[in-house]
Structure 1
């Protein structure tokens, strides 16, 4: 449901947002192997979300972790507009293969796809609304949510679907839905990278029907978990 922002990233609002002085972070390198999930958790971090499921078709339950730093210096009090205190502690996505002996081997770690919560007038893209990770039919899905209490009428969500192929977590699906809270207009874009097709739909919350159109994905660019960067700023259709 992406009305006026269809060609723009999910959260293209920094210029409208009240910026805070966010402390820098040195992201840890996770161990290559661990006996259990806790073995991947660095000091000063915690497991925010855990999933178990087969992601590489070997019939063993692999491990997906969303880790979040717990540094009180990243929790910021302020007297401006929006959320206070603001918890800007970053997240780290980790995926590990299950091994026959019950231990795990790290397959990927990423701290960019799920961006930090840095702007008080924007929602936490992961914690609120449709945010979160899931395993669906052997794919990894990461959802981000967008809501602004000032600066924009747009609200919506984006879902990334990854499949392990060619030794990487390849983006095979991108789905974005946006609604304009002032007009009720809705718009969505769905990209299937396996078929190279784009589905666009537009409508209104006041009516049941929507206009749907299909087109061929012109770009040959293929994305992976590591090449997308900031998921909230990602624009698959420049």
Structure 2
């Protein structure tokens, strides 16, 4: 499978989200703590939201609030050399454990932007025992049809793609969708979870040689999660049924 071969070259790390200034809690064990500074509340370009000691890693543009103006989403990456860790298996290679910040800014009529959201953990840090992330392959930001999709791809031994979809509504960004694709490398069985939080419906689709099945599951209706209220993947997955589907073979 071409997609599987592509994914096997990437790295996914457990994602968690939080909106806060200068936070150091929530970082993985085994790496130094790191703070996430509070971003500027306004600017004329994405560069105006970049604090000292940080750089722009990725960005995407598109209308997120229906006013016809191109808004921006961006990922910033820290450049603190003190957070570079030696690779014990390769003497001259360093692992970059600097944190990342996801920011979202809405465009104003005068050409400026206003910060509408900031998350210090949606794009995770490098963690010992895992490959160094290659964000060009492992992270994707997409603005389409008024939504922001943050897609994270995959650790090579257990391939998966996780996508969180946010929409600007009720004067804030809210989680409206969650998708997860995974494959069993041994059996080549694929499973896709697609959760619509607005309707509280989950679709679970299996695909394998000689075996295709789709299930629709009704989930408990819960209040929408604001971007600021999502603190980790557990917050996303507790709204979905991730696991065995009745009368179907689960990925071992």
Under a length normalisation based on structure 1, what TM-score does the superposition of the two structures give? 0.80
Aligned residue number for residue 59 of structure 1: 68
Q: What secondary structure sits across from 1:77 in the alignment?
A: strand
Aligned residue number for residue 4 of structure 1: none
Residues 119 and 76 from structure 1, CA distance in 2 versus in 1: closer, same or farther, beyond 3 angstroms?
A: same
Aligned residue number for residue 171 of structure 2: 167
Shift of 1:101: 1.3
Residues 41 and 224 from structure 1, CA distance in 2 versus in 1: closer, same or farther, beyond 3 angstroms?
A: same
Superposition pairs of residues 74-93 of structure 1, within 5 angstroms: 74-79=83-88, 85-93=94-102
Aligned positions, number: 214
CA distance in 2, matches of 1:78, 1:182: 30
Matched, 1:132 2:140: yes
Residues 129 and 52 from structure 1, CA distance in 2 versus in 1: closer, same or farther, beyond 3 angstroms?
A: closer
Residues 20 and 110 from structure 1, CA distance in 2 versus in 1: closer, same or farther, beyond 3 angstroms?
A: closer
CA distance in 1, matches of 2:79, 2:172: 29
Shift of 1:85: 2.6
Shift of 1:221: 4.6
Equivalent of 1:202, from 202, 206, 211? 206
Superposition pairs of residues 144-159 of structure 1, within 5 angstroms: 144-148=152-156, 153-159=157-163
Asked if the contact 1:163–1:171 (Cα under 8 Å) also holds between the matched residues in 2, the reply is yes
CA distance in 2, matches of 1:217, 1:232: 16
CA distance in 1, matches of 2:221, 2:75: 31
Shift of 1:111: 0.7
Q: What secondary structure sits across from 1:85 in the alignment?
A: strand
CA distance in 2, matches of 1:76, 1:113: 21
CA RMSD after TM alignment: 2.5
Q: What runs of 5+ residues in structure 2 fail to find an aligned partner?
A: 1-11, 15-27, 242-252
Give the structure with the higher percent helix.
2
CA distance in 2, matches of 1:40, 1:132: 20
Shift of 1:112: 1.9
Matched, 1:27 2:12: no
